[in-house]
Amino acid sequence: EQDVAEYRKSLAIRVAGFDVPRPIKTFAEAGFSAELMKAIAKQAYEKPTPIQCQSLPVVLSGRDIIGIAKTGSGKTAAFVLPMIVHIMDQPELAKEEGPIGVVCAPTRELAHQIYLESKKFAKAYGIRVSAVYGGMSKLEQFKELKSGCEIVIATPGRLIDMLKMKALTMSRATYLVLDEADRMFDLGFEPQIRSIVGQIRPDRQTLLFSATMPRKIEKLARETLTDPVRVTVGEIG
Using CB under 6 A as the criterion, which residues of the chain lie in contact with ligand ADP when the complex forms? Answer: 45, 48-49, 52, 69, 71-77
CB of residue 105 vs Mg ion: minimum separation in angstroms? 8
Residue numbers 55-114 binding Mg ion by CB under 5 A: 75
Phi first, then psi: what are they for 129, rounded to 5°? -115, 130
CB of residue 45 vs ligand ADP: minimum separation in angstroms? 4
Burial class for 28, CB neighbours closer than 10 Å (0-12, 13-18, 19+): exposed
Q: Quick count: other Cβ atoms within 10 Å of Cβ 140?
A: 10
Q: Toward Mg ion, which CB reaches closer, 132 or 167?
A: 132
Task: Give which of ligand ADP, Mg ion, none residue 52 binds (C-beta under 5 to 8 Å, depending on kind).
Answer: ligand ADP
Cα–Cα dist 92/185, whole Å? 35
Query: Is the Cβ–Cβ distance between 124 and 35 less than 8 Å?
Result: yes
CB of residue 171 vs Mg ion: minimum separation in angstroms? 28
Estimate to the nearest angstrom the gap between the alpha carbon of 194 and the chain centroid. Answer: 16
Task: Give which of ligand ADP, Mg ion, none residue 135 binds (C-beta under 5 to 8 Å, depending on kind).
Answer: none
Q: Toward ligand ADP, which CB reaches closer, 114 or 159?
A: 114
Q: Toward Mg ion, which CB reaches closer, 192 or 210?
A: 210
SS3 of 169, please?
coil
Cα–Cα dist 59/78, whole Å? 8
Task: Give which of ligand ADP, Mg ion, none residue 147 binds (C-beta under 5 to 8 Å, depending on kind).
Answer: none
CB of residue 115 vs ligand ADP: minimum separation in angstroms? 12
CB of residue 216 vs ligand ADP: minimum separation in angstroms? 21
- Integer CA distances (angstroms), 8 to 14, 69, 175, in order: 7, 14, 27
| Chain contacts with Mg ion (rule: CB under 5 A) | 75
